[in-house]
Amino acid sequence: MPRWIWYAAYGSNMAVERLRCYVQGGQAAGGVRTYPGCRDRGMPSAARGVELPGRLYFAGVSGQWGGGMGFYEAGAGVVPARAYRVTVGQFSDIVAQEMYRPPGADLDLATVLATGRDELGPGRYETLLLVGEVDGEPMLTFTASWSPAEAPLNAPAEAYLRQLAAGLAEAHGWSTERIAAYLASRPGAAGRWSAASVAELLARTA
């Protein structure tokens, strides 16, 4: 079992201040939940923008933001993400908090590292995926076990879109126009948000 892994965040955790709530505890701007944080409260030792093969889609209802949550489907396409170098313990605690569980136990990553996938349970973020490596260390993310075709697609809330936009700007340096076009085109958001309406939202909160 490696000590260090890269956690590939494709949703709101691309924004470092959002990730800080999971690591050090606290409540994100626009959210309603307060997170206990990781056992190890040190922020990631490194971070970089990455691209994952697949697509982002929005489904379900977030207890944090209201509106749809972001999920990753591996496959065709490109998903901009941000990889953070964290310990196995920190990754385990982040996964626990995503599932509304108390942090405190390390995950057994043997299956996902050997096969590329491990379904820990039926929950929203209980499917672990091996999505590459960085500097010889494994890069992991988590998503739902279902596919977009099986999911109750749902448009994301304004507060969630702001977090996603902040992360895309930080990790990839994207312009507001590019961010708006990308987010409005994702399943769940498409038809409910337009590129123009997302850009207007981001302009109001700039």
Query: DSSP H helical segments within the chain, as ranges?
Result: 16-24, 88-98, 110-115, 158-172, 176-184, 195-204
Between 2 and 91, residue with greater pLDDT:
91
CATH architecture of 4-154: Roll (3.10)
Which residue ranges make up each domain of the chain? 4-154
Q: How does strand 4-9 pair with strand 137-143?
A: parallel
Mean pLDDT of the chain: 95
Give the pLDDT mean for 54-62.
96
Residue 124, pLDDT score: 87
Neighbour-count burial of 159, counting CB atoms closer than 10 A to its CB (0-12 exposed, 13-18 middle, 19+ buried): buried
Q: Distance between the two ends of the chain, CA-based, in angstroms? A: 43
Residue-level pLDDT at 168: 98
* For range 117-139, the mean pLDDT: 94
pLDDT at 37 over 90: yes
Q: Give the Cα separation of 10 and 144 in Å (integer).
A: 13
The pLDDT value recorded for residue 122 is: 85
Orientation of helix 176-184 relative to helix 158-172, angle to 10°: 130
pLDDT at position 164 over 90: yes
- Separation in Å, CA 177 to CA 35, 156, 165, 191, 194: 32, 18, 10, 18, 11
Count of CB atoms situated within 10 Å of the CB of 129? 19
Share of the chain above pLDDT 70, in %: 100
Residue 160: what pLDDT?
96
pLDDT band at 123 (very low <50, low <70, confident <90, very high): confident
Asked if 59 and 152 touch (Cβ cutoff 8 Å), the reply is yes
Q: Reply yes or no on whether the pLDDT at 32 is more than 90.
A: no
What is the average pLDDT across 55-68?
Answer: 94
Name residues whose C-beta falls within 8 Å of residue 154's C-beta, 6 or more positions apart in sequence. Answer: 58, 59, 60, 61, 67, 68, 188
- Cβ atoms of 201 and 177 within 8 Å: the answer is no
Residue 206 pLDDT > 70, yes or no? no
